[in-house]
Chains A and B, each alone.
Chain A
Amino acid sequence: MTNPQNQEKSSCCSCTDRGNASDCCCSIPAGTKAAIGTATSSVTLQNRLDHVRARLGVNRMGHRVEPGLYCLGAPDADSPVFASANYTLSFDALRSAVAGVDCYILVLDTNGINVWCAAGKGTFGTDELVRRIESTGLPGIVRHRKIILPQLGAPGVSWPEVMRRTHFKVVYGPVRAADLPEYLRNGTATPAMRKVQFPLRDRLVLTPVEFVHVALPALAAAVILYFLAGSAASLAAVAAVVAGTVLFPALLPFIPTHDFSTKGLILGGVVAVPFAAFFATVPPLPFWANAAAAGAALLIIPAVTAYLALNFTGCTTFASRSGVKKEIFRYVPVMACMAGAGIILGIILGISRLFGVI
């Protein structure tokens, strides 16, 4: 292992211009195995546009930072080392949170996926961390043997294993990058910093990508329903989708019950009521047709909203696999039966209209 103190400091290291890297990074010992990039803490307008595109799901896998080692400020052999994912939002959150701190950032190759998801998949994991420590020549760059990982990377990393293979000690920083300055000041994370939160802002930033995913089928359903059953039915389709992808995340903690499916059924039920009331009072229709139309709304809208709500489990850090599995077995058959019954009612109404019965 190279001791940086015994090495000449190169006047300027072999920096590369990659991702957010720009100027050359100095204070790096000569003989460093790999090139070191330089990052800044300032998040540019271009970075922000990239964040917006990422949140809209545009070019989803294209929001990447080149994996490797970066220096921020003018780090020396005693400066802290942080690890991050090669996803621009993760990397940018880290580099802006540690503004003013001279440090190194070790970017792991997570295929452009954020820390939490990548840790779950194992790409933000022990093997990749060990590989990056070795390939960047980190042991020759810093004198200490400590690397600070985001706490949400812990599901992918085994610290005893990293220690055994690299002699680097893994310490876990706070959940939120924004707490890093306080963490660095105190040298430890408070229990509050260690707990994951899911405030309104975090829930709302997920809604565009959720909506975009179902926008196309929703639009198709709205157009078909417009021609088959009129503008109210078309609007009902849009309302069910907006309820499941936008209203549900926003209102998540305020809807009673714990399960995502039952929350979705409740929300969908509330959204369905005005449509059912409207269909129940369409003037020229016979009573049975009014009732069938209202029933179809009360069956289909909650089922669609609940299904979309159930799928939101994957966007949270709260749903366990055991629990989600139970939800699927308990509620998906109910949703399927409700949607099926509603569609049958709709078909009966459509056929009746076609044959002039109503």
Chain B
Amino acid sequence: MFDSYTENTLRYNQERCINCGMCSAVCPHGVFTPGGTAAVPAAPSSCMECGACALNCPVQAISVESGVGCAWAMISAALRGKDMDSGTCGCGGAAGSCCGSDTKEPSCCDKK
């Protein structure tokens, strides 16, 4: 009830995995770790749905509904009568926002 982040849209088909290790390399949250014969989903609830693993898996063993976890973008899409999921971050806007960080590269948002 008080943790909204326990479930996500990450799905993994272990039977397809060829154990290339790419998902472990690209995941910034250590969700996948290398295993003996296949990747191991070690921390699925840490997934923030960035989509890097699915996009870089050569055999489509992973799927995830990737999207921008920016509340402002979603609320603003809803206020404009649009689908909340349709809202990509709009940091390209003139006013911009937090999208200005460097090496850490915080997530995008399209504030104000």
Binding site for B on A (CB under 8 A): 51, 54-55, 57, 60-61, 63, 87, 89-90, 92-93, 97, 111, 113-121, 150-152, 154-160, 172, 175-178, 189, 191, 194-198, 202, 205-206, 209-210, 213-214, 257-260, 262, 310-311, 313-328, 330, 332
Contacts and interface: CB of A to CB of B under 8 A. Distances in A.
A5 B69 CA distance: 48
B38 interface: no
Contacts of B101: 55, 89, 114, 202, 205-206
Contact of A317 (B4, B56, B106): B106
A314 B109 contact: yes
Given A158-B55, A321-B68, A328-B75, 10 more contacts: A155-B51, A257-B2, A314-B73, A314-B89, A314-B108, A314-B110, A315-B97, A317-B28, A317-B105, A318-B29
13 contacts: A57-B95, A114-B100, A116-B106, A117-B106, A155-B52, A158-B55, A311-B111, A314-B72, A318-B107, A320-B8, A323-B8, A327-B4, A328-B75
Nearest to B53: A154
B84 interface: yes
A155 B55 contact: yes
Nearest to A117: B108
B67 interface: yes
Contact of A159 (B22, B30, B91): B22
A219 to B, nearest CB: 15
Secondary structure at the B interface, as helix, strand, loop or mixed, is loop
B4 A315 contact: no
Contacts of A154: 26, 50, 52, 55-56
A324 B91 contact: no
A180 to B, nearest CB: 10
A113 B5 CA distance: 27
Contacts of A319: 5, 48, 69-71, 107
Interface of B: 2-5, 7-9, 22, 24-30, 33, 47-52, 55-56, 58, 65-75, 78, 84-85, 88-89, 91-92, 94-112
A155 B102 contact: no
Given A257-B2, A314-B111, A90 B102 contact: yes
Nearest to B109: A314
Nearest to B67: A321
A115 B4 contact: no
Contacts of A206: 98, 101, 106
A120 B96 CA distance: 15
B69 A320 contact: yes
Given A113-B91, A178-B103, A310-B71, A322 B109 contact: no
A116 B105 contact: yes
A54 B100 CA distance: 6
A322 B111 contact: no
Q: Which of B5, B33, B67, B102 has its CB near the most chain A CB atoms (within 10 A)?
A: B102
B68 A314 contact: yes
B72 A311 contact: yes
A241 B5 CA distance: 26
